Chains A and B, each alone.
Chain A
Amino acid sequence: MKKSWGLKRAVVAVGVAAAATLAAPVAQAADVCSVWLVENSRFMNVPFGMFHPDRSFVQGSDNPRNNVNKVDLPVNVGVIKCGNELILYDNGWNQTDYHKMTGTGHWSPLSKQIAQLGFDAKDVKKVIVGHGHWDHAGSLDEFPNAILYIQKEELRGIEWALNYPHPRISAVNDSPGGCSRTPACGYPAKTVDSIYSKILRGKAVIVDGEMEVLPGVRIHPAFRAHTAGSQLLEVPTSIGKLVFGSDAYSSWEGIRDWEIANPQQTVTVQKFLAYEKCY
């Protein structure tokens, strides 16, 4: 879950905004959960336009839509405690060498980070990934007892892109340091293997649309947004419903104007042509 500004405010705002739109009835009386937001790491100096194409930086511009060059993006993980159930929304990434070689801030294993909240990685029962990108589903190995929840649409979307007969779509990464926006390139082999490992060992639920995982704790599909099979998580808390999103928005304006962040799937001719032209 990455958000650029006023993160906690943004999450609450997303929650409030999204809660108002959630029409589906909750099956049982909702328990009240406690939630924490853990900053697993922070990507430094990321070009803002990379995540929000219509906000591309223009040198010398005083237009607030075009005068932000680079941003630092926290990689956040939702830690959710409902009764005895410990749930994670997303799980960041796990790559020590990447940390050493890039401008990444303060990464450390997520299991150690949640230990500071008094939680044991072995007690995490569910990991719900907003989507399957490496920086959101990259620490699954640290939670051996957890059941992974991932959308079937997400897996199908990756497979579709992988088998597409055009290298600009199917590329896992088509140039050194150059691939970041094509539909398949956010899924390194290691991440896909970790997801597959959970599925093979009976430690995964492949979700098909909406699902209530605990009373009041509900997965909502956000298909054809950031990725083909993104999903949100609605959580009841003492201050109302919160909805966790994963790269759902890049800024407050994005939330206000319903501009999704960095869509990386190809469902329209326009997007296909954009990939063709840009990459």
Chain B
Amino acid sequence: MQTETSGPQRTARVAALKGFGLGALAVGLIALVAVAAVRETAKPKQQEVATNSAFGHSERPAMTAAEEAYAHALWPVHAQVKLDAVKMTFAGLAYKMGDIKRAAVKDRVAPLTPRFDSALAEINKLQPPASMRDLHGEYVEAIKLYRDASAIMIRLAADGRDEHLIEAQERSEKASGLTLKVGDTLWPGEYKPN
């Protein structure tokens, strides 16, 4: 169906359409500017979230003063325990590599047992904040495992049976897993990329 319009009517309609078009364009541009502005201001935050999400990081909450004091007090014990634990392992390694006799394993490991006992006594003096009681318990367990491992290991000197070394190693590895876990919480980044 066709309709015919007169000249003035057509002019008025064209003018109305132009007005409508310009209005729509203006609204569109304003909307575009608004969207761009919102995106621009939100950009850094979005990027940060995406990065963290991609790497699976979780922000580490700040320690309380009591937690920091506990971590500070535990550090000297931890530093010595780590060194003694690795020395105990190396006594077994040196024996297996044929560098030392079984009597020497006892000579090296026996002095470590009272040192683990001392570490246990030291850590038992600490008062962990409520938030770190479980962690504290794990550390106590670790030192007991190390102590037991050292006591078992020196039995090698008497009968030369490797089973003692294996039994001791299982305890020691469990203990070292626990100390590593506690270390990650209390001293994040304790071990740097090497």
Residues of A within 8 A of B (CB): 2, 43-44, 46, 50-51, 73, 75, 95, 97-107, 133-136, 152, 155, 158-159, 162-163, 170-174, 176-177, 179-180, 184-190, 192-197, 199-201, 206, 247, 262, 264
Contact = CB atoms under 8 A, between A and B. Distances in A.
Given A106-B55, A171-B83, A196 B194 contact: no
Contact of B190 (A43, A176, A187): A176
Nearest to B170: A197
B189 interface: yes
Interface stretch (B29-37, B89-97, B113-121): B89-97
A152 B96 contact: no
Given A162-B90, A189-B82, A200 B166 contact: yes
B187 A176 contact: yes
B193 A43 contact: yes
B162 interface: yes
A182 B181 CA distance: 22
B193 A46 contact: yes
Contacts of A185: 191, 194
Interface of B: 54-58, 60, 71, 75, 79, 82-83, 85-87, 89-90, 92-94, 96-97, 162, 165-166, 169, 172-173, 175-177, 179-181, 184-194
Contact of B94 (A46, A159, A197): A159
Contacts of B85: 189
B193 A177 contact: no
A98 B192 CA distance: 10
A105 B54 contact: yes
A38 B40 CA distance: 36
Contacts of B186: 176
A159 B169 contact: no
A194 B172 CA distance: 10
B191 A186 contact: yes
B55 A134 contact: no
A193 B173 contact: yes
Given A162-B87, A172-B83, A73 B193 contact: yes
Given A135-B193, A180-B192, A201-B166, A193 B89 contact: yes
Contacts of A199: 93, 96-97
A154 B186 CA distance: 30
Contacts of A180: 191-194
A179 B83 CA distance: 13
A99 to B, nearest CB: 7
A263 to B, nearest CB: 12
A158 B90 contact: yes
Contact of A264 (B58, B90, B194): B194
Contacts of A190: 173, 176-177, 179-180
A44 B75 CA distance: 26
Given A105-B55, A173-B79, A200-B92, A187 B86 contact: yes
B55 A196 contact: no
